[in-house]
Chains A and B, each alone.
Chain A
């Protein structure tokens, strides 16, 4: 069975601070895919990134960066110089590739104060 744990439930930072959102996953599959989604108050889940299990290269996209470490089964997400518009719920999710099912973590509510 697959499991995604987001131990942090709520994080509050002041604008321009850096913040890291943690994600730990469990799966017995050797091939899997990890995702991060952002859910603003409007409700729609916005796709941020997908990472394959066979590619541990970290990725940077603007102020966003992701650190994938298979040794610790973690896929952490860092926002540099946070902005108020980053306030949302962030979900980490796992897919094992056999079908489209995503297993989600409970989500982290990020509040960025001006």
Chain B
């Protein structure tokens, strides 16, 4: 079974631009979550989608948004990029929305550099 895939793997953008990152979950998984990892703040939860609906959102500004498609693939968008948005963005998929059988598997991440 293929794992979680994320594209692109690396990205360089300029302040003020916007960026879209893509995540394809493991086949059969319906929940996709996004995390931002920075040296200073560590791993922080951005948001979670299940059945095309945002179910939970972390403490990030409105410049960060996402969506999920009917095939469970997800995209996240960051508008008006700031230097502080430079980070590793990780996507994770799970078959369920929490619960006793919950396990979450991560993709390789997208390394975003904002200059």
Contacts and interface: CB of A to CB of B under 8 A. Distances in A.
Given A52-B100, A91-B43, A97-B102, 13 more contacts: A44-B108, A47-B103, A97-B99, A99-B55, A99-B97, A100-B33, A100-B48, A100-B56, A100-B94, A100-B97, A101-B48, A102-B35, A106-B42
Interface of B: 31, 33, 35, 42-45, 48, 50, 55-56, 58, 88, 90, 92, 94, 97-100, 102-109, 111
B25 to A, nearest CB: 11
B109 A100 contact: no
Interface of A: 33, 35, 37, 42-47, 50, 52, 91, 93, 95-107
B104 A47 contact: yes
Given A43-B88, A107-B42, A98 B106 contact: no
B106 A101 contact: no
A24 to B, nearest CB: 16
A44 B48 contact: no
Contacts of B109: 43-44
B91 to A, nearest CB: 10
Given A52-B100, A91-B43, A100 B31 contact: yes
B102 A42 contact: no
A99 B43 contact: no
Nearest to B90: A45
B106 A45 contact: yes
Nearest to A106: B42
Given A43-B108, A43-B109, A43-B111, A103 B98 contact: no
A83 to B, nearest CB: 23
Nearest to A35: B104
B104 A100 contact: yes
